[in-house]
Amino acid sequence: MDIEIYTNLAYIVAAALFIFGLKMLGSPATARRGNAFSSMAMLIAVIAGLIGSQAVSYEVIIVGILIGALIGTLSARLVAMTSMPELVALFNGSGGASSLLVGWATLYYLEGDVVPTFTAATIVLAILIGGLTFTGSLIAYGKLSERINSAALVFSGQRVLNSALLLAIVACAYLFCIDPSATSVYLYALLGLALLLGVMAVIPIGGADMPVVISLLNSYSGIAACAAGFAVGNNILIVAGALVGASGIILTNIMCKAMNRSLANVLFSGFGAAKTAKAVEGEVKPISVEDAYYILEAASNVCFVPGYGMAVAQAQHVVKELGKILEANGCEVSYAIHPVAGRMPGHMNVLLAEADVPYEQLVEMDDINPRIENVDVAIVIGANDVVNPSAREDPDSPIYGMPIINVDQARTVFVLKRSMASGFSGVDNPLFFGENTRMLFGDAKESISGVIGEFG
Amino acid sequence: MDIIFLTFILVLSVFLGFELISKVPATLHTPLMSGANAISGITLAGAFLAAGATNNDMASWLGGAAVAFATINVIGGYLVTDRMLGMFKSKRGK
């Protein structure tokens, strides 16, 4: 009893530190210290949890921690900033797996005792959400790293199959809760169905919608931790899980709004192909590196608009270099970032921060749009759908209504692009044919290096 | 009572979470997510219970695997978040 009081007191301290840490994440200036506070909270919670568990054997625990620490350290140290979405997807998955295992193990731990129905129900939730998060994240990882086809996979009968899957889950969950035991056949059925559900939930979602999926899975991994917390009756799991769950839901919501789509639409529609937008006709006006230099040399306000293509071309460092040269030339430089640019929330910001762009120069869509007319040159690097004026003007376009960065209203637009292929959503982009648009064809990194060379 | 008590904690935490996270600026959303990854490794505290038990082999194996997965989250999540946040620099800070 004494130990329980002390562990719970420690949990209170940990919860307070978690909250304080998240609060400090509200500004780039304090964020790093916030993360340190949060990790301190984790250390306190883990030590308290270890003491409170009154474990009799430490071998398994130590081996588990060593394996986890090794994998965690290596992945955190080695990952390239361009691959952050993949890493976060994998971390989401491992959080889900851990909750599933805690829920499952609790059944064995309680073996011999009568498992109350409420505990059984929370175990079911931990297994379901944890399993769904695990396989869903693996599929998301596969799509993000393009190990599997990133296009939406839709087939006839998909909805029927998914509905049947959900019904089977509800039935198994009910039958398990009536007579919960570690050897229940329904438990194994639930495990299998949960893992299958994760796969089925993510395959119909296309690569361009990954920012939503990854946020949602982030949220699930927190909710799963919450459920596991109920199963083992541990309140710090509930507090921390709820914080993570809330964070994921907020990000999911921001991503959906930024694409002007409902969550249901993202999850079930298999975006693409459906509507046919107006075919865009016109002439593109290519520009040479030399001419681009003359225009930039005379510009007094330049705004970079990066997209996933910048990450693919690893162009963030040369972009920063060009930005610095322009600034030295007396030009005002900013970097406008659309909420869904890249493959996860804030992806572009991290890449530019990696290249040493001060965070004051990273501006949001809503900040740049009102003053976009004062921008002499908007340089679009590997972005497409997030600057597509069809979203504003063409009601038949699949992306109609999505808020965009209105680069077409800048005085001049440079679009850096490999070729004339359409964007990830497969939608034509009238921006490329605009009166004030100049296309700078070729690899983004080489083109920008070329311009920098001209400044020489 | 236990159920009510735990649910009480859940509801308050959810509201607090919404309050706190909606104030995080867009520029920090990636570190926010990886930091959340780290926090969801809190299942570690729950995993010890099963992993340290000796009365049932299956419980300790499952618990041990849970400990490994959760540790990946905790260690990997905090390290990578710190690495990212270390790159965010102010104009004046240099």
- Residue spans of the domains in chain A: they are 1-78, 80-274, 289-455
Is A385 designated active site? yes
Q: Which domain holds residue B42?
A: 27-85
Closest residue on chain B to A111 (Cα): B56
Residue A449's alpha-carbon distances to A297, A321, A322, A409, A456, in angstroms, are 15, 9, 8, 26, 10
Instruction: State whether residue A42 sits within 8 Å of chain B by CB.
Output: yes
Residue B1 covered by a domain: no
Alpha-carbon torsion, ordered B13, B18, B23, B27, to 10 deg: 110
The pLDDT assigned to A241 comes to 96
Q: What integer is the mean pLDDT of B21-27?
A: 92
Inter-chain contact B40–A39, Cβ cutoff 8 Å? no
Instruction: State whether residue B87 sits within 8 Å of chain A by CB.
Output: yes
User: Where in A101-175 does DSSP place strands (E)?
Assistant: none
Residue B33 covered by a domain: yes
The pLDDT assigned to A274 comes to 45
Give the CA angle between residues A19, A24, A29 to the nearest 5°: 170
Instruction: State whether residue B13 sits within 8 Å of chain A by CB.
Output: yes
Instruction: State whether residue A92 sits within 8 Å of chain B by CB.
Output: yes
Judging contacts by C-beta atoms under 8 Å, the chain A residues touching residue B50 are 102, 105-106, 108-109
Instruction: State whether residue A40 sits within 8 Å of chain B by CB.
Output: no
Residues of chain A with pLDDT under 70: 1, 269-281, 421-427
Q: Nearest C-alpha of chain B: how many angstroms from A51?
A: 9
Tell me the pLDDT tens digit for each residue of A84-93: 999 999 999 9
Work out the percent of chain A whose per-residue pLDDT is above 90: 66
Asked whether A424 and A384 are in contact (CB, 8 A), the reply is: yes
Closest residue on chain A to B32 (Cα): A25
Which string of DSSP letters, residue by residue, matches A195-222?
HHHHHHHHTTS-GGGHHHHHHHHHHHHH
Q: How far apart are CA B21 and CA A246, in angstroms?
A: 8
**What dotted CATH number matches A289-455?**
3.40.50.1220
The upper half-sphere exposure of residue A250, i.e. CA atoms within 13 Å in the direction of its Cβ, equals 23
ipTM of the complex: 0.94
Instruction: Give helix then strand counts, H and E, for chain B.
Output: 5, 0
Closest residue on chain B to A224 (Cα): B40
Candidates B1, B11, B69, B94: best to mutate against A (most CBs of A within 10 A) is B69
Residue type for position B69: F
Q: Is residue A227 helix, strand or coil?
A: helix
Q: How many domains does chain B have?
A: 1
The pLDDT assigned to A313 comes to 87
The pLDDT assigned to A396 comes to 83
Residue B56 covered by a domain: yes
Residue B55 covered by a domain: yes
pTM: 0.90
Asked whether A311 and A85 are in contact (CB, 8 A), the reply is: no
Of A68, A101, A353, the CB nearest to B75: A68
Give the CA angle between residues B77, B81, B82 to the nearest 5°: 120
Instruction: State whether residue B8 sits within 8 Å of chain A by CB.
Output: no
The pLDDT assigned to A181 comes to 85
The pLDDT assigned to B31 comes to 95
Closest residue on chain A to B34 (Cα): A88
Closest residue on chain B to A211 (Cα): B30
The pLDDT assigned to A422 comes to 55
The answer for A 8-37 residues in CB contact with B (under 8 A) is 18-19, 21-23, 25-29, 31-32, 35-36
Instruction: State whether residue A308 sits within 8 Å of chain B by CB.
Output: no
Tell me the pLDDT tens digit for each residue of A274-314: 445 556 667 788 899 999 999 999 999 999 999 988 988 88
Choose, from A113, A179, A366, A385, the residue flagged as catalytic. A385
The answer for B 45-84 residues in CB contact with A (under 8 A) is 45-56, 58-84
Residue B67 covered by a domain: yes
